[in-house]
Structure 1
Amino acid sequence: MELRVLHYFLAIAREQSIVRAAESLHLSQPTLSTQIKNLEEELGKQLLIRGTKGSRKVTLTEEGMILRKRAEEILDLVTKTEKEVTLNDDIVMGNIYIGTGETDAVRILAQTAKILQNSYPGIRYHISSGNSTYVMERLDKGLLDFGIIFGAVDLTKYNTLRLPSKDVWGVLMRKDSPLASKNNISPEDLWDKPLILSQQEYKGGKIMQWLKLQETDLNIAATYNLIFNASLLVEEGLGYAIGFDKIINTSGNSSLCFRPLTPGLEDEMNIIWKKYQIFSKPAEKFIGKLQETLLQQT
């Protein structure tokens, strides 16, 4: 399987047309069709469903959709590798890829990046948001340099650096809601309330254990994977969102407020990277400066 042919396949997937893809690639249609047919024969799977004579639109088969996802990851990794290898030894510039959930701990990374910016303005940072599963999958595939995850770390696979701050769980609600007068929120306070839960916790995380009830006994109005979206639902009165503190601004003229849980729940955070990973120069500078910054804070 050649990288060139993967580029061709992604062009067809993007354009949904062999004709338009051939034009964008500056190839003849027969040449492009032959390349894709050879790829299908090599894999032993049909990747495209060709339209009828009256329609030039093509759609991906199930196998084609899998290949599209993997091809994008492969080509992203190739591009990343080429940039890292071809840089001059005396120049520190390039990309750092970080995956993280929504957490105030990103401020620590931002502070480190700001310090490095003065000495190495050619470093660029790419932040991807997702849960721990998303972060570790992309780390394992080499698409991320670092990840921030909550809770325990598999030390057989990853090196880890514990971050000093902890994320505090609580309830995001409107300031005019009945529970806003309380200093903290107990499970019983929420048993009869419409809840907005993170998709990861909704599937059996520690919040479900803290609530002490089964999913079927709760009034779950919505789920989210980005707390900002959940905050909009809260603003419109859909329910109470359980999430981390310091992510949504509740000061000033905000219509929202945050109340911590009781019994309290906190999550420790770690920045992790693959064991035996060979860092690019930007990534090496970044983790070194982060370690130095954290040491100064202890």
Structure 2
Amino acid sequence: MELRHIRYFVAVAEECHFGRAAERLHIAQPPLSQQIKQLETELGVQLLTRSTRRVELTPAGARFLERARGILAAVDAAADETGLVASGLVGKVAIGFTGSATYELLPTVARALREDFPGIELELKGEMLTPRQVEALHDRSLDIAFLRPPVRDPELNVLVFRREPLIAVLPEGHELADRKSVSLAELQTEPFICYPSQHRSVVYDAVFDACQRAGFHPSAVQEVAETSTLVAFVAGGLGVALVPASVRHLHITGATYRPLSGTTEEVELAVATRAGEDSALLARVMPRLRWLLGGGRPAAR
């Protein structure tokens, strides 16, 4: 069964006249009659009764007309939607956020994009370590990634838009919790709660670099992948932690945040997309994101 057969049948059924239907379809009447007969033969039922004056639907034809109209409406809707997708007006964008950016940046990005692009479906994924986001960009389960450089991948465009200092997370009952700021040297005997090691977390490396410059290496370390769990462990009195300053937007009872004195250790936050991406959807979304993030600069390769 061809789509044109369905269109021809609907025209004849609505006009109840082969001549008028032929004019409506801009074809000759004999070929139209032949196409309807082919459709009836294929279905094995009579759809129309014909007389010299009038064409009428059989009961089977009436039911088929309902279905045929639905098919044509669905096809037209699909064509319209395809055009909207091709122009970037509708579609889905999957965005990943590294754990420390989830609690501040995710809500900001979500509000801005929903307001500006109501036809776009957002799939937001928080608490993703940078290596996993890089993999997700390559397998196309992510379209945009907010991650921590360095990311040395020629197949990705990485734009750094923020540098932020590390801050301390302390249990509220800690002896240093009433200070306006704390020094790293004062934490050297404390157990540390950290992000994963083995190059899975840029922040892990930054924390240990800062501690080394302060003259010590954390002796007791517990690794945690998710920022919310890390802060919860600190709140539970299991240790202290160093996190990017944006994590202070995550409020967990029992944990408090303090600036670090005597160190300028910072980490970068960047937005990454696939190089050479030709998606019309991303072509609309990325300029808005770049404006929202205040520009940025390409990350070092």
Q: After TM superposition, is the score higher than 0.5?
A: yes
Letter in 2 for 1:89: G
TM-score (norm 2): 0.59
The 3 A distance-change label for structure 1 pair 257 and 109 is: closer
Question: Cα gap change, 1:109/1:223 in structure 2, threshold over 3 Å: closer, same or farther?
Answer: closer
Q: Within 5 Å, give how 1:41-120 maps onto structure 2.
A: 87-90=81-84, 92-104=89-101, 107=104, 110-120=107-117
Output the CA distance in 2 between the equivalents of 1:229 and 1:249. 14
TM (normalized to structure 1)? 0.60
Distance 1:175 1:106 in 2: 20
**Separation of aligned partners in 2, 1:167 and 1:287:** 22
Q: Please state how far the C-alpha of 1:254 moved relative to its aligned partner.
A: 4.2
Tell me the number of residue pairs that the alignment of Structure 1 and Structure 2 aligns: 210
Q: Is the 8 A contact 1:250 1:257 kept in 2?
A: no
CA distance in 2, matches of 1:103, 1:185: 21
Quote the residue 1:141 is aligned against: 139
**Who is 2:164 aligned against?**
167
> CA 1:161–1:109 in structure 2 vs 1: closer, same or farther (change >3 Å)?
farther
Tell me the secondary structure at the aligned position of residue 121 of structure 1. Answer: coil
- In the alignment, structure 1 segments of 5+ residues that lack a partner are 1-84
Query: Which structure 2 residue ranges, 5 or more long, are not aligned?
Result: 1-78, 297-301
Distance of 1:145 and 1:296 partners within structure 2: 19
Which residue is 1:271 aligned to? 271
**1:186 matched to 2:183:** yes
Shift of 1:256: 2.3
CA apart distance, 1:113? 4.2
Q: Retained in 1: the 8 A contact 2:104–2:246?
A: no
* CA distance, structure 2, for counterparts of residue 296 and residue 230 of structure 1: 31
Alignment of 1:1-298 (within 5 A): 87-90=81-84, 92-104=89-101, 107=104, 110-128=107-125, 129-154=127-152, 156-163=154-161, 165-200=162-197, 205-212=205-212, 218-220=219-221, 222-249=222-249, 254-261=253-260, 262-279=262-279, 281-294=280-293
For residues 111-140 of structure 1, what are the alpha-carbon distances to aligned partners after superposition, in whole Å with 9 as ceiling and x for unaligned? Answer: 454344345323122222311111111112
Distance 1:113 1:100, change over 3 A: closer
SS at structure 1 position matched to 2:154? coil
Aligned residue in 2 for 1:13: none
Partners of 1:250 and 1:256 within 8 A in 2: no
Structure number with bigger Rg: 2
